[in-house]
């Protein structure tokens, strides 16, 4: 199935879930599901473990490398009081791993950094992030992922 068709179906599914499910009142608890657009582009999920820590996962494909699918998981630390503002801009850092498949299979370590925007009393976040990657299998190479995304948080 072509990648744009999957995105279209995912967006409709997300809309239906949002319309028929109750949303959590904040972004730093519960489970969030959404999209990330960049390289690669795809689905993004986030599960909060505490008020400052979370696990994020991504399942995405690369438009730059046709047919390349990327799966990643990161442990994140959030610094909610780092930026003083009437809005809620929250920097975060994390470390994790990634598995990439396509013409070859790649396994690597990610170090991610980003900035999230948490609207007051809204059940979603918007984020921008960059993640340098050191692939270890099949050979040692340096690459990077990056993108902008949004997630809705469910109770």
What is the Cα–Cα distance from 36 to 53, expressed in whole angstroms? 20
What is the Cα–Cα distance from 65 to 113, expressed in whole angstroms? 23
Q: Which of helix, strand or coil describes residue 89?
A: strand
> pTM (2 decimals)?
0.81
Q: In this predicted model, what pLDDT tens digit does every residue of 76-125 receive, in sequence order? A: 999 999 999 888 999 999 999 999 998 889 999 999 999 999 998 889 99
**Residue 76: which domain range?**
3-154
- Token representation of residue 30: 């519960």
Of the candidates 14, 48, 51, the residue with the CA atom closest to the CA atom of residue 152? 14
10: domain CATH number is 2.40.160.20
Question: How many domains, in total, are found in the chain?
Answer: 1
Q: In this predicted model, what pLDDT tens digit does every residue of 9-52 receive, in sequence order? A: 666 655 555 544 444 445 678 999 999 999 899 999 999 999 99
């Amino acid at each position: 199935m072509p990648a744009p068709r999957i995105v279209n179906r995912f967006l409709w599914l997300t809309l239906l879930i949002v319309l028929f499910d109750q949303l959590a009142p904040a972004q730093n608890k519960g489970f969030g599901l959404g999209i990330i657009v960049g390289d690669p582009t795809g689905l993004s999920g986030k599960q909060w473990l505490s008020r400052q820590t979370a696990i994020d996962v991504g399942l995405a494909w690369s438009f730059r490398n046709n047919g390349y699918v990327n799966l990643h998981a990161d442990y994140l630390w959030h610094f909610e009081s780092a930026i003083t503002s009437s809005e809620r801009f929250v920097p975060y850092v994390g470390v994790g791993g990634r598995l990439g498949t396509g013409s070859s299979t790649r396994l690597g370590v990610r170090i991610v950094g980003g900035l999230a925007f948490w609207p007051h009393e809204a059940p979603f976040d918007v984020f921008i992030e960059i993640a340098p990657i050191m692939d270890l299998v099949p050979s040692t190479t340096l690459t990077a992922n990056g993108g902008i995304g949004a997630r809705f948080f469910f109770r």
